[in-house]
Amino acid sequence: MRQVWVDGKPSQQIPVDDRGLLLADGAFETFLVREGTVMYVDEHRERLARSLGVLQFSTPQQFAQGMIAESAALIAAVGTTGSARLTVTRGSGPRGYSPPVDAVPRSLLSFDPLFTPNSAPLTLGWSTVKWPDQPLLSGAKLLARTENILAALDARQQQVDDVVMCTQDDRVCSVARGNLFLRVADTLLTPDLSTAGIAGTRRALILNRFAKVAGYHVTTASVARAQLLAADEIFVCNALWGVRPVARIGQQQWSDFAASRALAPLLDPEAAVTW
């Protein structure tokens, strides 16, 4: 059964004047939880602080640290495996775009037990929705996810697992639900996110830690559609999936999942690798 806390207390209600509800004025994090422990809590805290900073919350580091610590303690008290989402809004305020000077951020934490992530290789399509160019917001995980919602509808209509989303200049950026990597020989490439996209925690871990452990060079780059399709391997990563290889995009197919097999258990020792 799902458990929900608002500002650290059991509740399923938020005020109707909450700016996150009315204006998507906030940020969120999605956690994989193993036996009551939030996986990679430091990476989530750092990104939440960065996202709140983008929104010009006062003392974003302090708020992120406190809300992540509170969430981790509540989840630890439950003590089971599952998935969780922490939403942080600017709190209540009057009508209008301008935030109140004395805004008090609000947290909404939900936990779902017994989560078993799907690890099967993915079939992808191409989204008709492109990321908007907005360097100020790139990398942050904010509440306004309109492009991702429309891309998810694209995936449903195309009857695929997910879709590749491109930037305004038609460079590969991500999928609707996570970040992309491609392997060329022993080098991993992931799209540069300086103008658009969300910088995932697992993307950061692969870039900064696990690619080297697995024996691969890694870099960010501008990636064209043809370059993606010519890769030796493609995989997607996010907090709940960990690493999932891509088996097909359109008529192009892949069966060499060497990097995916190496990285999946590094990110999550309990990952069910069946490919």
Quick one: what percent of the chain has pLDDT higher than 70? Answer: 100
Band of pLDDT at residue 49, cut at 50, 70 and 90: very high
d(CA 73, CA 79) in angstroms, rounded, equals 10
User: Would you state the pLDDT for residue 174?
Assistant: 99
For the chain, the maximum distance between any two Cα atoms, rounded to a whole number of angstroms, is: 55
What are the sequence ranges of the domains in the chain?
A: 3-113, 122-267
Q: Report how far residue 43's alpha carbon sits from residue 27's, in angstroms, rounded to the nearest whole number.
A: 15
pLDDT digits (tens, 9 = 90+) for 180-232: 999 999 999 999 999 999 999 999 999 999 999 999 999 999 999 999 999 99
Terminal-to-terminal C-alpha distance of the chain: 31
Residues 84-98 pLDDT 10s: 999 999 999 999 999
Query: How far apart are the C-alpha atoms of 181 and 206, rounded to whole Å?
Result: 10
Q: What is the dihedral of CA 86, 194, 249, 215, to 10 degrees?
A: -90
What's the Cα-to-Cα distance from 31 to each of 86, 189, 272, rounded to whole Å?
Answer: 8, 25, 18
The matching CATH number, chosen from 3.40.50.720, 3.30.470.10, 1.10.150.110, 3.90.650.10, for 3-113 is 3.30.470.10
Check if CATH label 1.10.10.10 holds for domain 122-267: no
pLDDT, residue 117, reads 74
pTM of the model: 0.96
